[in-house]
Structure 1
Amino acid sequence: MKQVAQNYKSGELVVLDAPAPTCRPGGVLVRTMYSLISTGTELMKVSEARLSLIGKARARPDQVKKVLDSVAQQGPLAAYQKAMSKLDSYTPLGYSLCGVVVEVGEGVLDLSVGDIVAAAGNEFALHSELNWVPVNLCVRVPDGVPPEQAAFSTVGAIAMQGVRRAEPQLGEVACVIGLGLIGQLVVRLLVAAGVKVVGLDTVAARCRMAEKAGALACASPTAEGVRLVEEVARDNSQGLGCDHVFLAAGGPSNEPVEVAVRLARDRGRVIDIGKTRLDLPWNDYYEKELDVRFSRSYGPGRYDDRYELEGIDYPGGYVRWTERRNLASFLDLVAGGQLDLSALVSSVHDVDEATQVYARLGDGTLEGIGHLLHYPEGDRAAAVDARPSPSALPRATHTVAARRRATGDRLRVGFIGAGSYATSMLLPHLAAQEGVELASVATTRSLSAINAQRKFGFERVSTRADDVLSDPAVDAVFVVTRHHSHAEFVCRALETGKAVFVEKPLALDATQLQRVVDTVERTGNDRLMVGFNRRFAPLVAELTGHLRGSRGPLSMRYLVNAGGMDPKNWYLDPAEGSRFVGEGGHFVDTLSAVVGQDPVAVHSSVHGDDVHSLLVYPDGSTGSIAYVTTGSPRFPKETLDVSGAGANARLDNFRKLSVWGTGRETTRRAWTADKGQRREIAAFVDAVTGGGDMPISIESLLATTRATLAIGGGTSGEVLSP
């Protein structure tokens, strides 16, 4: 299928041939008819992508801070490689469309195949022939609404939420500063609500367009223009001024904020809808006691994964206007004739022309505010009231002439998942291995697979894990998906006779772990590796070398400065297990590698996301893990101290190892934090191709997982037996 995407590093904008998404539970698969180009948000993103690295840093200081924190914890090289990998990837464009439903996911009850729908979301309603859209970001289009106008629904919901935030009343006066697409829609909504409207914009044609839509007067934000608008507002408000001022302009100028205070009446409201500079003139805003309000996107529910992804609605008695209800309300106004959007459609172009359209918008040769991309296949599907069965949909597998390698005794690898960790920490090392052939990659999002293919040369890309699991030519499967799916994919891959590398955790609970055990026993396939990479780190190997042959138990203390996490991060989703269950296996396995044994008992105390545990080993050695989330993000993430057998050692974040023995202190330093991924991958490839023992025994993998689950559950004194 065709999809518009941009490389944020180079600024390249292309129409890709991408694999079609699959229809997942909780949403519908939509074949796009028209998608709307945002001349505000999207063009700003496109412009940022064409800046130099310094320019990008200035435009996104929030991302710069994240990189600096990463440098402090991981070292400059690792932080740079991770940042460049993320930048040098195709990202999607688009967030507002109209299309026809061609498949309905499990749990969706109010939409059917053949329905014409409007869809929203910058991760779902993309400039793409097919899109999977969660049910709460998708509404049926009423009869009589042209699909070209329905494609404006997302932007209409943004404008509607801004108007709702102002709480306007009949007969009041409002000024809209910035008469681009959002501003034009705000004008129309206010007029429909019985509000008298004035406006300001630097483009005369936009002012005339707003006046034709019902605005009393619009002018350029010059001294004379502001004076004219101010006079009209006062004449229509008994001399009071504007009850509401909407900031729908963007850019670095502070002029909109300064003009707003002049036009607003005493105790009026200023509503920020666009991304404009907000250096409030304190005295002026204080003297008028202005109420400054922000409008967040499409409405309540936005940025809430439980609402948007899980489909959990807010009760109407508590939240009257959610983002889905705003979308439906906007379409109802269009259907009822209160809103006429025909004048906003400036041009329509086939999706094949997207690159040229964005170029013309960027250089100003394509004027207007509402530009649509057209998808002919969507039109045909709608015209015949398309009701294809899932089997009739285009296959999600996409084959291209990638960098092919010679076949023979080579190890053919398939990947399920290709997110940030896979593409920055696993695939670079795997692609560099002699004798490895990257056969296929499957990801939920189409562009993730395309990016992996582009960087590492996979022969095939897909959005269906089955295409990797059922391929008889694939020898080994890497599972690098979200935690809840690990055990499922591991079992299915083992059942096909393939070797499996799965990122931690192996399982989220005892039931999942037992299923893995049962599968290994039933199939006899124990060719399993879990991504416990730290035991392969060069400095950990050197540490264990110093302690090898020592007599007597060891005392080990592992401090993990895990740090805080965005509350919306999927890691904190209860369905993915606790934070410690998600990554704690790393630390348990490292201690087991140092002592050379698996733990037999644990004692654990859990307070929120913080975990303190003690592991006991057969020879009397002990290992404590302090997993702390409240420390400084600039402090190193991991510190390991080992004492015993007449020696002490300290490992500082995989960058420095100090050993004290009978002689003087020995210190080894590394320029960057090498956590062992390269050696881990090499060991797995050698074991699979050579037929030798797996790098970590199945018994140790299971023991580590049992210990991790016990610690994460706050268990005390449990004997860790099969």
Structure 2
Amino acid sequence: MKQVAQNYRSGELVVLDVPAPACKPGGVLVRTLYSLISTGTELMKVTEARLSLLGKARARPDQVRKALDSMAQQGPVATYKKAINTLDSYTPLGYSLCGVVVEVGPGAEEFAIGDLVAAAGNEFALHAELNWVPTNLCVPVPEGVAPEHAAFATVGAIAMQGVRRGEAELGELACVIGLGLIGQLVVRLLVASGVRVVGVDTVAERCRLAEQAGAIACVGPDAEGAAYLEEVIGAATGGLGADQIYLAAGGDSNGPVELAARLARDRARVVDIGKTKLDLPWNAYYEKELDVRFSRSYGPGRYDDRYELEGIDYPAGYVRWTERRNLQCFVDLLATGSVEVASLVSGIRPVAEATAVYGALGDGSLRGVGFLFSYPQPKAHSNGSSVSSPPYARTLHAGPSTTARAAATPTVRLGFIGAGSYASSMLLPHLAKNPAATLATVATTRSLSAVNAVRKFGFQTATTDSATVLADPQIDAVFVVTRHHSHAEFVCRALEQGKAVFVEKPLALTREDVDRVLEVVDRTGNDRLMVGFNRRFAPLVHRPAPTVRNARGAGECPLPRQRRAPRLDQLVPQRGAGGIAFPRRGWPLHRHPQRVDRAPAGRGRGPPDGERARPARHPAVRRRLPGDHHLCHRRRQPVPEGDARRVRGWPQRPARQLHPRDRVEPSRQGHQALVCRAGQGPARRACRVPRGRAARRPDADRPRLDRRDDPGDDRDR
């Protein structure tokens, strides 16, 4: 199928052949009839993509901050590679369309095949022949509404949410600054609500278009126009001023914000709908006590994955107008004739001409407000009935990019399920350079992700169907690099097909999934499974190993622990993410533990095997070492063969040093330690061990005696 995409690094805009998406649960597969070009948002993105790296940084300071945060964690080299990998990828365009349902996924039975729907979402309602759309971003189109008009539904919902944020009331006067696509729809919605409207825009044709829709006056933003608009507003409101100001303009000018303060009445509402520069003049806004508000996209539910992806709706009694209800309301207004968008359609072009259309819009040779892409329609029978939608291929063969290498030398043929940011930056660059590996097939949920993997790393086949990878007898090993909650499912399916499997951590999120993986291994006899715990192969671990093994007294390399670790029965895995990380401990590198148990720490030491432990604030680690030393509170003490001790949390402040003749023994009381003088019988006093880093002994055999730690000091008692 065809899809419009752009490379954000080079600015190249193309129409690609991509595999068709799969119909996932909770949504429908929509064959696009018309998709709307957002002349504001999309052109801004297209323009930014053609800037230099410095220009992109200036245009998107939010992304620069993310890069700086990543640099602090991963270093400049890894951050640079990650950023270039993200930029040098095809990204989709579009977010508003109308089409026909061709397949219904589980959980979306409210729709039926053949329904005409309007869809939204910059990840779902794309400029593509086929799109998968979640149920909460898709609404049925009433009878009598033309498909090319229903394609305006998403932009209409944006304008409607802005009007709702302005709390427009009957008889008020509103001023719309910026009469582009969003501004024109705001004017129409306000007029339908009984609000008097004036407008401001730099393009005279847009002003005339708004006046035709019912605005009483529209002018340019120059001094003469602003003075005239002040007179009109004063005459209409008795000298009060505009009740609401809607900022639907873009650009780097602060003029819209300053003009809003000039035209607004005392305590008026200023609503920002577009991406407007908001350098508020403090005196003007303070003197009138203006109420500045923001309108977030289509409405409540936007950017909430539980709402958009999982289909969990907000109760109407608490949230009356969600983004889906705004979509439905707009198409209902189109059906009743309360809102008219036919005058906004400036042109309809085939999607194959997308590159030329964006170029003409960018250089100004194509002027207008609303432009639509049309898509190939199924042919009709002689009796007038339409045939079913043409079959769309979910697998594309990119060509024998690595066939020659595979034929020359025997290699391992690899299949990838998932090709996201981690796989593209950490795994695939190394495998693509390895002569012993052949990248055969990549399967992704999104069509462009598979195409990007083929272009960058030379896969022979791209698909959106994971079964293509698993059922291919020529694939030797499968890499599972998907969202965490799907790891166990793909691992089991791959093992059942007899594949060797590499899965990124975690293997599973629940005990049931782990048991299922073990059951598949036992049933099939295929145990060629590896989890991507990569620290064991790190050079930093391997290099000191010989030195540590030869050392007489091996030390410990502890890692910082978390505070307030949760109880084991309180760990709840989240969709698409890993579980909660347990606090980590270290042990001597020269001697591996026979058993490591993690459980909540209790006040008592509990049974030796740790089957039961009382919940407490801090975690504890029970370790059994086969030999000579055991570290307790960062103090080395001999432990008999097979003995087990409970180790409390690591300190955070320097621990007080003890008298040379004192010895420290674990206590049953939390973080306390029993201190007794050698040769004087049982412990005679207890002290709390601070949770800080223990001070190093200058001499391993005889620690220094600090005056504060003198046994006679009352402050230690």
Structure 2 unpaired stretches of 5+? 564-570, 603-616, 633-646, 652-697, 701-717
Number of the residue aligned with 2:136:
136
Number of the residue aligned with 1:684:
none
Which secondary structure state, in structure 2, belongs to the residue aligned with residue 548 of structure 1?
helix
Number of the residue aligned with 2:60:
60
What is the CA-CA distance between 1:162 and the residue it aligns to? 0.4
1:253-278 deviation line (CA, Å, top 9, x unaligned): 00000000111111111111000011
Number of the residue aligned with 1:395:
393
Q: Distance in 2 between matches of 1:572 and 1:82?
A: 31
Supply the AA of the counterpart residue of 1:499: A
Q: Which has the higher contact order (CA 8 A, sep 6+)?
A: 1
Q: Please say if 1:546 is aligned against 2:553.
A: no
Q: Distance in 2 between matches of 1:292 and 1:627?
A: 50
- Equivalent pair of 1:413/1:474 in contact (CA under 8 Å): yes
Q: Distance in 2 between matches of 1:541 and 1:169?
A: 72
Distance 1:626 1:272, change over 3 A: farther
Supply the AA of the counterpart residue of 1:329: C
- Equivalent pair of 1:580/1:611 in contact (CA under 8 Å): no
Number of the residue aligned with 1:146:
146
Distance 1:576 1:118, change over 3 A: closer
Q: Distance in 2 between matches of 1:511 and 1:405?
A: 41
Matches within 5 A, 1:70-469: 70-377=70-377, 384=385, 393-406=391-404, 407=406, 409-469=410-470
Supply the AA of the counterpart residue of 1:401: G
Q: Distance in 2 between matches of 1:460 and 1:303?
A: 33
TM-score (norm. length: structure 2): 0.81
What is the CA-CA distance between 1:558 and the residue it aligns to? 1.4
Supply the AA of the counterpart residue of 2:392: P
| More displaced 10-residue stretch of structure 1: 303-312 or 61-70 | 61-70
What is the CA-CA distance between 1:39 and the residue it aligns to? 0.7
Matches within 5 A, 1:474-489: 474-489=475-490
Q: Please say if 1:614 is aligned against 2:634.
A: no
- Equivalent pair of 1:559/1:626 in contact (CA under 8 Å): no
What is the CA-CA distance between 1:380 and the residue it aligns to? 6.8
Number of the residue aligned with 1:649:
none
Supply the AA of the counterpart residue of 1:405: T
Which secondary structure state, in structure 1, belongs to the residue aligned with residue 237 of structure 2?
coil
Number of the residue aligned with 1:600:
596
Identical positions, percent = 63
Which secondary structure state, in structure 2, belongs to the residue aligned with residue 225 of structure 1?
helix
Q: Distance in 2 between matches of 1:627 and 1:57?
A: 43
What is the CA-CA distance between 1:60 and the residue it aligns to? 1.3
Q: Distance in 1 between matches of 2:620 and 2:506?
A: 18
Distance 1:88 1:578, change over 3 A: closer
Which secondary structure state, in structure 1, belongs to the residue aligned with residue 4 of structure 2?
strand
Q: Distance in 2 between matches of 1:415 and 1:591?
A: 36
1:323-364 deviation line (CA, Å, top 9, x unaligned): 000001000111101111111011111111001111111111
Which of structures 1 and 2 has the bigger CA Rg? 2
Q: Please say if 1:490 is aligned against 2:488.
A: no
- Equivalent pair of 2:401/2:460 in contact (CA under 8 Å): yes
Q: Distance in 2 between matches of 1:592 and 1:495?
A: 39
- Equivalent pair of 1:31/1:101 in contact (CA under 8 Å): yes
Number of the residue aligned with 2:13:
13
- Equivalent pair of 1:177/1:247 in contact (CA under 8 Å): yes
Q: Distance in 2 between matches of 1:573 and 1:611?
A: 21
What is the CA-CA distance between 1:580 and the residue it aligns to? 3.1
What is the CA-CA distance between 1:384 and the residue it aligns to? 4.7
1:523-549 deviation line (CA, Å, top 9, x unaligned): 111111111111111111112232235
1:482-538 deviation line (CA, Å, top 9, x unaligned): 111111111111111111100001121221111111111111111111111111111
Number of the residue aligned with 1:682:
none
What is the CA-CA distance between 1:129 and the residue it aligns to? 0.6
Which secondary structure state, in structure 2, belongs to the residue aligned with residue 236 of structure 1?
helix
| More displaced 10-residue stretch of structure 1: 504-513 or 30-39 | 504-513
- Equivalent pair of 1:534/1:540 in contact (CA under 8 Å): yes
Supply the AA of the counterpart residue of 1:36: L
What is the CA-CA distance between 1:577 and the residue it aligns to? 5.8
Number of the residue aligned with 1:566:
none
1:182-236 deviation line (CA, Å, top 9, x unaligned): 0000000011111111000000000000001111010110111111122112211
What is the CA-CA distance between 1:460 and the residue it aligns to? 0.5
1:22-41 deviation line (CA, Å, top 9, x unaligned): 00111000000000111111
| More displaced 10-residue stretch of structure 1: 611-620 or 530-539 | 611-620
Bigger helix fraction: 1
What is the CA-CA distance between 1:603 and the residue it aligns to? 3.5
Q: Please say if 1:499 is aligned against 2:495.
A: no
- Equivalent pair of 1:99/1:378 in contact (CA under 8 Å): no
Q: Please say if 1:471 is aligned against 2:467.
A: no
Supply the AA of the counterpart residue of 1:341: V
- Equivalent pair of 1:31/1:378 in contact (CA under 8 Å): no
Q: Distance in 2 between matches of 1:319 and 1:332?
A: 19
What is the CA-CA distance between 1:291 and the residue it aligns to? 1.1
- Equivalent pair of 2:378/2:387 in contact (CA under 8 Å): no
Q: Distance in 2 between matches of 1:430 and 1:278?
A: 48
What is the CA-CA distance between 1:435 and the residue it aligns to? 1.9
- Equivalent pair of 2:573/2:580 in contact (CA under 8 Å): no
Distance 1:206 1:289, change over 3 A: same
Q: Distance in 2 between matches of 1:626 and 1:3?
A: 55
Distance 1:252 1:618, change over 3 A: same
Structure 1 unpaired stretches of 5+? 563-570, 629-659, 663-722
Q: Distance in 2 between matches of 1:394 and 1:123?
A: 20
Matches within 5 A, 1:34-53: 34-53=34-53
Q: Distance in 2 between matches of 1:352 and 1:302?
A: 31
Number of the residue aligned with 1:708:
none
- Equivalent pair of 1:558/1:626 in contact (CA under 8 Å): no
- Equivalent pair of 2:598/2:619 in contact (CA under 8 Å): no
Which secondary structure state, in structure 2, belongs to the residue aligned with residue 539 of structure 1?
helix
Distance 1:374 1:164, change over 3 A: same
What is the CA-CA distance between 1:614 and the residue it aligns to? 2.8
1:551-576 deviation line (CA, Å, top 9, x unaligned): 677534113799xxxxxxxx997234
Distance 1:557 1:159, change over 3 A: same
- Equivalent pair of 1:560/1:625 in contact (CA under 8 Å): no
- Equivalent pair of 2:414/2:438 in contact (CA under 8 Å): yes
CA RMSD in angstroms, aligned pairs only: 2.8
Distance 1:578 1:15, change over 3 A: closer
- Equivalent pair of 2:573/2:579 in contact (CA under 8 Å): no
How many pairs align? Answer: 612
Q: Distance in 2 between matches of 1:342 and 1:441?
A: 43
What is the CA-CA distance between 1:369 and the residue it aligns to? 1.1
Number of the residue aligned with 1:529:
530
1:352-394 deviation line (CA, Å, top 9, x unaligned): 100111111111111001011110237879x956666xxx742
- Equivalent pair of 2:4/2:14 in contact (CA under 8 Å): yes
TM-score (norm. length: structure 1): 0.80
- Equivalent pair of 2:555/2:588 in contact (CA under 8 Å): no
Supply the AA of the counterpart residue of 2:469: V
1:413-448 deviation line (CA, Å, top 9, x unaligned): 000000100000000111111121100000111111
Distance 1:84 1:597, change over 3 A: farther
Q: Distance in 2 between matches of 1:592 and 1:43?
A: 59
- Equivalent pair of 2:398/2:459 in contact (CA under 8 Å): no
- Equivalent pair of 1:124/1:131 in contact (CA under 8 Å): yes
Q: Distance in 2 between matches of 1:39 and 1:598?
A: 65
